[in-house]
Structure 1
Amino acid sequence: MKYSILAPIAFVAIFVMQGCVSNKKYQELQSNNSKLQQSNEELNKRLQGSEQDLSGSRVRVKSLEEQIASEKANVASLQAALEKCLNSSTQGNVNISKLVDEINSSNKYIQQLVNAKNKSDSLNMVLTNNLTRSLSREEMTDVDVKVLKGVVYVSLADNMLYKSGSYEIADKAGATLGKIAKIIKDYNGYDVLIEGNTDNVPITQTNIRNNWDLSALRASSVVLSLQNNYGIDPKRLTAGGRGEYNPVASNDTPEGKARNRRTQIIITPKLDQFMELIGKAPETSKQ
């Protein structure tokens, strides 16, 4: 599936009408066409990211479905053994009762797996909707939101958050940080990691030693802003810098470097309930 963009048609129309308009008007139309083409490229990039997220979700769903199918097969085996016991005069009531308990336990675990799958799907959808609906179209251009296994990854471009060549928060970042802070407050049981990333161009400022410093300072600036300006409990916040060593694109192009210069806000739920679920898996008796 591809986004349908009218930029190529508009460009042809501009070309045909070139002889009928002034040179200034023609240049304006060319500029508009370039912006439309750039918008088309950005939409395609976002589409590719969404398709990758969908692929990951399908893998997780398939894993849960395989577990459910395995448990159902186990139930069928236990039921067959139960029927064998019922048809045999030599089997006692104790063995029959044990098989019934194992069948009930397996059925309960299957339901737990189904509920976990449904909860994971619902959590991903709710988190994504809550974040994206609070951001304007312009903000979404510089904000990338992903939800993987219940963990929210919000990636913000450096030109949205910081003053040029600095780790100080820019005034224009306030609106976006305010909306993200609201989501963090709504999910107050979640921990938040602020992770700074840079491109591979060495920093030249005398008060910053290298890209490690710059990424950590930028992450720390976001943490302080969330704490001081939006009242986020600092016990939930962690600031970290990864420098140039966690790229998401090639540093060989200006576009790739721009994507690598980013700050990620990673909102992580407590996974106690999932670990508890694993610990409750029923043990089947040896036949």
Structure 2
Amino acid sequence: MMKYTLTLLIAVLLLTSSCVTKKVYQDLENKYADLKKENRRIQDETDDCIKSKADLQMAYDAIKEELAKTHQEADKNLADYMAASNNLKALQSSYAALEKNSNDALETNMGKNRELLKQLGEKEKALAAEQSRLDKAKADLQASSQRLAELENLMAAKDASMRKLKETLSSALNSFEGKGLTVQQKNGKVYVSMENKLLFSSGSWAVGAEGRKAVVEVGKVLAANPDISVLIEGHTDDDAYGGSGPIADNWDLSTKRATAIVGILSENRDINRQNLTAAGRSEYAPIATNSTAEGKAKNRRIEIILTPKLDEISKMLNQL
């Protein structure tokens, strides 16, 4: 679906290039390249985190299984050692009694005794080797458990940070409740959704005064959280764009609306612009049915998606 979306966006850009200036076309082309690069990077990071956590869990399970086997082998060697020790004691008693017998019988018993002593020495070496192996397995298991705990704690801290961010946004945007603005946390991200009735007039990408206030409040929170990646997505319903001028279709309109939000956020100098990405999704990511007026209104929206940066988690996974 993403590949089809990107291909369609390229086609739209090519079809509309004759209607816009070279600079506008170049800007759109650069934004598309940035979007594609950022999307690929985020997806790669997410896939790497999921795969690394699965690999670590598999390694942890394998070490536990190996530790159980080592315990079983150690118990068996200890039992063999005790049996050999008992045999040695019995032979030593026999040796004392047989000293009175002939030299041949004595030599035979001494040979058996030497063989048992040899076997006992081998068992002791095997037991020592198994103990060393058991100690190493315990140390490896402890180290893996500690790294896994650290990773889980870091991920929990990220989740807690995003919950706090969600609460901060909800508090900052409380005055816009019931005006088409919602704040949600899901999949480790925070979503700020604003319906077009709060932001834009029909067919326009100019942000109204009330909508600007809401975006500025979001910007204040983002300025205080510089380690958050911000994706601004523009969405439309499935009604074909019927306006005129520089807008070609819903793809173009949704992209310009997302870019307009980025422009307002960029006015806050405390926001790192490298954290901002604008994307147009047209009508292809609806959250409600387009068969009713209410559903269409919900689909016409801007979504500001806040994602924690995963640099620390990636670094820890690389050290495992």
**TM value normalised by structure 1:** 0.65
Moved over 6 A (4+): 67-70
Deviation string for 1:136-166 (max 9, x for gaps)? Answer: 2543541222223432221111111123431
Distance of 2:133 and 2:63 partners within structure 1: 17
Partner of 1:180: 218
Change beyond 3 A, Cα 1:205–1:228: same
Distance of 1:123 and 1:239 partners within structure 2: 24
Partner of 1:4: none
Q: Give the CA deviation at 1:107.
A: 2.3
Which segment is superposed worse, 183-192 or 137-146? 137-146
Alignment of 1:109-188 (within 5 A): 109-136=147-174, 138-139=176-177, 141-188=179-226
Q: State whether residues 71 and 134 of structure 2, in contact with CA within 8 Å, keep that contact through their aligned partners in structure 1.
A: yes
Distance of 1:74 and 1:249 partners within structure 2: 48
Change beyond 3 A, Cα 1:248–1:97: same
Partner of 1:261: 300
Q: Give the CA deviation at 1:217.
A: 0.9
Distance of 1:164 and 1:103 partners within structure 2: 61
Distance of 1:114 and 1:236 partners within structure 2: 25
Deviation string for 1:191-245 (max 9, x for gaps)? Answer: 2111111011122221121111111111111111111256533222221111111
For the pair 1:248 / 2:287, whether they are aligned, the reply is yes
Structure 1 segments unaligned to the other structure (5+ residues): 1-63, 282-287
Structure 2 segments unaligned to the other structure (5+ residues): 1-52, 78-123
Partner of 1:226: 265
Match of residue 78, structure 1, among 56, 67, 92: 67
For the pair 1:99 / 2:88, whether they are aligned, the reply is no
Q: State whether residues 178 and 230 of structure 1, in contact with CA within 8 Å, keep that contact through their aligned partners in structure 2.
A: no
Distance of 1:227 and 1:82 partners within structure 2: 62
Distance of 2:184 and 2:282 partners within structure 1: 21
Q: Higher relative contact order at CA 8 Å, sep ≥6: structure 1 or structure 2? A: 2
**Aligned residue type for 2:281:** R
For the pair shown, which has the larger CA radius of gyration, 1 or 2? Answer: 2
Which segment is superposed worse, 90-99 or 154-163? 90-99
Which structure dedicates a bigger proportion of its chain to helix? 2
Q: State whether residues 236 and 250 of structure 2, in contact with CA within 8 Å, keep that contact through their aligned partners in structure 1.
A: yes
**TM value normalised by structure 2:** 0.59
Distance of 2:155 and 2:276 partners within structure 1: 28
**Aligned residue type for 2:227:** G
Q: State whether residues 240 and 250 of structure 2, in contact with CA within 8 Å, keep that contact through their aligned partners in structure 1.
A: yes
**Aligned residue type for 2:250:** N
Percentage identity across aligned positions? Answer: 31
Distance of 1:176 and 1:193 partners within structure 2: 16
Residue 267 of structure 2 aligns to a residue whose secondary structure is helix
Distance of 1:74 and 1:157 partners within structure 2: 52
Distance of 1:157 and 1:199 partners within structure 2: 11
Deviation string for 1:22-64 (max 9, x for gaps)? Answer: xxxxxxxxxxxxxxxxxxxxxxxxxxxxxxxxxxxxxxxxxx9
How many residue pairs were aligned? 217
